[in-house]
């Protein structure tokens, strides 16, 4: 019997969690939790925090993501690993399309307490999944291919950007906690699948290099 990869179990668990969370959202069973979380996060409100989180949330907007993708593409090109960039742009595009479909199916109205202009539906958070897939994919590539001193700082930096993006969406009242959690779950599924493709491609490349060396 062929052994089932552990990644499939993680994907199945995350899918179940997303379905359950969506059912709770549609049934209004998490409204009180969302409100309590917002009321506690907004207590952090201050000029410095607001400016920092506004920059972070702006970077995860449509324009911000395009700018970051442009900068990232140049970096990949300079390092002569542009072929890896397909994972970054592919994951982000998948996330954007998936969010648009789910938002228009669930049609959850945004929080009444939002204090920044934001159109469209609330569930799940597009900013959060875009940030997770952009920074998360970069983290996967860095973990697999970067081995210098800059590796750990980059991983920490990108992790913080994901966390702070989700926090900023709740802080500004643009999303509920459950919107952010839903995006983190879906984004994680995409990253797991992407990681499986990366492992297969990179392992094949290593095998080709070994064969090339042996034939010389």
User: What pLDDT does residue 206 have?
Assistant: 57
Query: Widest CA span of the chain, in angstroms?
Result: 68
Q: What does the alpha-carbon distance between residue 178 and residue 159 come to, in Å, rounded to a whole number?
A: 19
pLDDT in tens, the chain (216 residues): 456 688 899 999 999 999 999 999 999 999 999 999 999 998 888 999 999 999 999 999 999 999 999 999 998 888 777 888 999 999 999 999 999 999 999 999 999 877 777 888 999 999 999 999 999 999 999 998 888 888 899 999 999 999 999 999 999 999 999 999 999 999 999 999 999 999 888 776 555 545 444 455
Q: Which domain holds residue 71?
A: 32-203
Q: Give alpha helix (H) positions in 146-176.
A: 151-171
Task: State both tokens at 197.
Answer: 């493709």
Asked if the structure places residue 12 within a domain, the reply is no
Q: What does the alpha-carbon distance between residue 104 and residue 210 come to, in Å, rounded to a whole number?
A: 49
Nearest-5° Cα angle at 181, 48 to 122: 80
Asked if the structure places residue 69 within a domain, the reply is yes
Asked if the structure places residue 183 within a domain, the reply is yes
Contact 21, 181 (CB under 8 A): yes
Asked if the structure places residue 52 within a domain, the reply is yes
User: What pLDDT does residue 212 have?
Assistant: 45
Asked if the structure places residue 4 within a domain, the reply is no
- Into how many domains does the chain fold? 1
């Amino acid at each position: 019997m062929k052994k089932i990869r552990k990644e499939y179990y993680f994907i199945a668990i995350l899918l179940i969690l997303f379905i359950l969370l969506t059912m709770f959202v549609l049934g209004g069973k998490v409204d009180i939790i969302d409100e309590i979380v917002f009321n506690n996060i907004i207590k952090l409100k201050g000029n410095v925090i607001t400016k920092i989180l506004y920059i972070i949330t702006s970077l995860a907007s449509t324009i911000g993501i395009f700018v970051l993708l442009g900068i990232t593409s140049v970096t990949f090109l300079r390092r002569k690993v542009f072929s890896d960039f397909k994972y970054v742009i592919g994951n982000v595009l998948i996330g954007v399309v998936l969010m648009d479909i789910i938002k228009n199916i669930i049609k959850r109205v945004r929080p009444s307490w939002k204090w920044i202009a934001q159109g469209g539906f609330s569930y799940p958070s597009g900013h959060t999944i875009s940030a997770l897939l952009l920074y998360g994919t970069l983290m996967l590539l860095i973990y697999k291919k970067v081995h210098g001193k800059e590796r750990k700082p980059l991983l920490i930096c990108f992790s913080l950007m994901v966390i702070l993006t989700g926090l900023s969406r709740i802080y500004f009242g643009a999303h509920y906690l459950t919107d952010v959690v839903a995006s983190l779950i879906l984004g994680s599924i995409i990253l797991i699948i992407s990681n499986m493709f990366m492992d297969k491609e990179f392992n094949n490349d290593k095998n080709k290099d070994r064969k090339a060396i042996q034939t010389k």
